[in-house]
Structure 1
């Protein structure tokens, strides 16, 4: 299909529909009829573009116009509470569930790197010496690591942790536009940092302190980061292998779906931050603090599997466009 000719032929129709949508609250009867007619016509144009072109900009522009026109034509909207319920029972869990192989792979690879790094640091005095002076390492393992969780008021600390972790997750999602390659670097840096710190604590005989402080919040926190990384990597891979769909359509659908991950992880990381601020430094026994972290992790994974599998079985994809405008076209 000649894209330039297609755009030239139909541009006036698209502009007119856009004008009517913007004035939808002040249309005459004839203009309402025209709005409906143009909506159907442009929906057909969108279908033709999707099936015959890989111009992502054109498809995105038409999809946005058709979505706004559909809203103007249908008028009624679902109650906000229903959209919120749908998000937490369908949109977010199904995207997480469908990308489970990606974030499980990120989890296993990161865990392996962290363990190997930790064992290397713990068993090599030379490596420890290269990381800092004996006084600096002693200050870290005996004071700084534990003090980090209690030196600030719980409220401000929770906000700081939430913003930091949300930023890491946002990086993982944003880097998907670069085929996801920078995500691998983010995961590597994170795994190395955890491994080095764990190795230094183990070498000082404080493994119990390390796991007692990092486990309560770390399970849910790292799961959220790995989920963001996995979703980002999946989107990056879609550029290489879009499957049977046109690449532009596949990227648009996966890109819209990943928005659900970004929004959902805001709440997941908030819960993790609250655990880190309120539970990790609390006087509760170590087994109780770890138990809270394990429980939070188990609840989250159960939620993703239950709702995600059910939504996937119903054919949901997590795409924020619940009913894309695709009509038959010759």
Structure 2
């Protein structure tokens, strides 16, 4: 098929469909014309895809057919019945299908942090290489690490923590399409955790370090691992497409799945921010604070692995209604 000749022959119909799709009000004749043109352009799209799949033309025709379909059917009304399904099916499923990616991210991150911490503990000169003097280290261990959690009003601190962690997660998700930036972001956070942990442990502050990190850190770090895993899975989806899909379709499907997970992370990071601003600096006994953090973290894991696995089984049993591949 001569693609240039095909485009020249049907360009007028495509422009007319685009014009009608953009109008807010249509006469009866124009509405009928819109339906006919939509059917024709959908056929054109099928022909182009099967014979000469030019990416730019396929994208243009796909946009036209989607816009025309929206103009014909009108905006869908929000169905409140979909809200429970989002939390009991779609969200845990989106996190569960990416589990191998974010579990691997977590294991690598923690291994790197542990190696850095041991290095800092064993070699006193490492801290100096990062520009930290003995007085800086002493101040960190004596009060600065603990003061960080009570420096601001709890409400303000919670908002700051949530915003900061959300920004890190957004960067991991968005940059995942190119993969490498995710590793850089994880390295930065692993370096910070390893350096701080090594200094605290090496100077007698191990109990304080783990005691203050545990209430919020378990969930907070897991959220970062999840965002990194989802981002890496998104990038990998166009390198190695999902079974039975081309690169563009695989990327599009995975991107939708990623957005579902991103919405869930907003709420999870809010919970982590609440723990860090209200539970970590509270007057509760240390063991109680840590128990609260551990309980919330285990509840999240149970949510993902119990409901997510159940949702995946449902998808496998009813592939024609599958939300995730």
TM bin (shorter chain): 0.7 to 0.9
- Aligned twin of 2:12: 12
- Aligned twin of 1:192: 191
Once the two structures are TM-superposed, the CA of residue 51 in structure 1 deviates from its matched residue by 4.9
Kindly tell me: are residues 199 and 68 of structure 1, through their superposed partners in 2, closer, same or farther at Cα, counting changes over 3 Å?
Answer: same
Higher relative contact order (CA 8 A, sep 6+): 1
Kindly tell me: are residues 62 and 270 of structure 1, through their superposed partners in 2, closer, same or farther at Cα, counting changes over 3 Å?
Answer: farther
Once the two structures are TM-superposed, the CA of residue 39 in structure 1 deviates from its matched residue by 2.7
Structure 1 segments unaligned to the other structure (5+ residues): 320-330
Distance 1:168 1:278 in 2: 21
Contact 2:177 2:232 in 1 (8 A): no
Distance 1:202 1:158 in 2: 26
Question: In the alignment, is residue 201 of structure 1 matched against residue 206 of structure 2?
Answer: no
Distance 1:8 1:86 in 2: 47
- Aligned twin of 1:307: 307
Kindly tell me: are residues 175 and 121 of structure 1, through their superposed partners in 2, closer, same or farther at Cα, counting changes over 3 Å?
Answer: same
Kindly tell me: are residues 98 and 69 of structure 1, through their superposed partners in 2, closer, same or farther at Cα, counting changes over 3 Å?
Answer: same
Contact 1:17 1:69 in 2 (8 A): yes
Contact 2:13 2:37 in 1 (8 A): yes
- Aligned twin of 2:213: 214
- Aligned twin of 2:172: 172
Distance 1:30 1:208 in 2: 77
Could you report, residue by residue, the CA deviation over 1:243-265 in whole angstroms, capped at 9, with x for unpaired residues?
43211221222223222222221
Could you report, residue by residue, the CA deviation over 1:28-63 in whole angstroms, capped at 9, with x for unpaired residues?
222222222333333334444555566554444444
Matches within 5 A, 1:25-104: 25-51=24-50, 55-75=54-74, 77-104=76-103
TM-score, with normalisation over the residues of structure 2?
0.88
Contact 1:114 1:191 in 2 (8 A): yes
Contact 1:92 1:318 in 2 (8 A): no
Aligned residues: 317
In structure 2, the residue corresponding to 1:200 is in which secondary structure?
Answer: helix
Matches within 5 A, 1:186-265: 186-243=185-242, 244-265=244-265
Kindly tell me: are residues 149 and 70 of structure 1, through their superposed partners in 2, closer, same or farther at Cα, counting changes over 3 Å?
Answer: same
Contact 1:157 1:277 in 2 (8 A): yes
- Aligned twin of 1:325: none
Could you report, residue by residue, the CA deviation over 1:77-102 in whole angstroms, capped at 9, with x for unpaired residues?
24342344443334332221111111
- Aligned twin of 1:106: 105
In structure 1, the residue corresponding to 2:12 is in which secondary structure?
Answer: helix
Kindly tell me: are residues 288 and 188 of structure 1, through their superposed partners in 2, closer, same or farther at Cα, counting changes over 3 Å?
Answer: same
Contact 1:217 1:275 in 2 (8 A): yes
Structure 2 segments unaligned to the other structure (5+ residues): none
Contact 1:228 1:262 in 2 (8 A): yes
Distance 2:279 2:138 in 1: 25
